[in-house]
Structures are given as C-alpha cells and as structure tokens.
Structure 1
Amino acid sequence: MTNKKTFEENLTELQQIVDELQQGDVPLEKAMTQFQKGVQLSQTLEKTLSEAEKKLTQVMTADGQESDFQLNNQESSDQK
C-alpha cells in the first residue's frame, strides 16, 4: 500500500530539489533527474491547488445541490 504524500510534503521536497539545483555543484545526470522530478512535483502541487480552489468556490443550495459561489460586484457599504 502506497502512502500518498501531503501537499506540504511535496512542497518541501520540491524546495529541497530547487535548493540543491541552485547550488550548482550537482552532476548533470542527477540535475536532469532532479529537474524532471521537480516538474512532476510542481504539476502535482498545481493540480492539488486547482482542486482545492474548485471545492472552495462551491456552495450548497437549500435543496442540497452544489453551485458556484458568486460574489456581488457592488461595493460594500463599509468603503463609504
């Protein structure tokens, strides 16, 4: 059974890869492997953020259906 890494674990791993590559003393083959892994992690993180955004912009209607959350474009009375 494979444990799925959390968003934070993936972000930490990506940061470690970036830090290592920025040092510049990584052999080319390892740098290429790390770069590819970093791209994959970046895509995974972006997907997670997109899915979270979709969930956060959904609201439940009175009849239990989900609908997109819409903000009114009018200025709030607090700004006056």
Structure 2
Amino acid sequence: MKPEQEREYGEQPIDALMLELDLTNDDLVCASTEQVTHKMVSKARKGRWLTTAIRQKVLRAFNAASGQNVALDALFNYR
C-alpha cells in the first residue's frame, strides 16, 4: 500500500454528526479552549490521518460545541 493511501481513511463519522447537528468547522474552533484550527477540523472530517492528541482536541471541541459527551470512537473510525 502506498503511504498516501495509509493516511486517507475516507469520510469520518464526525462529518455526518456535524451535518446532523448543523455545526460548522468554525463552531468547533470557537468552542475550543485549546489550539484547534479550521485545518484540523477539516482534516478530521475528510478522514485525513490525525495524531491521537489532535483527535482528542477535536473530540473535546466537538463535545463543547454540541453540548454532548460522545466518545472518540463515535467520531473517528480509525486509531
């Protein structure tokens, strides 16, 4: 498998959840108390590989923006 393919996991569950809740990338960035960028959220939604630390930041931003308390596995289908 090519290295580029190993880093692309396709559309992630976070994308569907954000669409369902009518959340934008900006909503997550604004709700975050950490350094979460629009680029991080965009990569998360598209399925680009992110480190565990960045996925955790996106998770906390999603939970803050949505008012929910979902687990990491609910947003991403890779480890």
Larger Rg: 1
Q: Which has the higher strand share?
A: 1
Instruction: Using structure 1 for the length normalisation, give the TM-score.
Output: 0.30
Instruction: Using structure 2 for the length normalisation, give the TM-score.
Output: 0.31
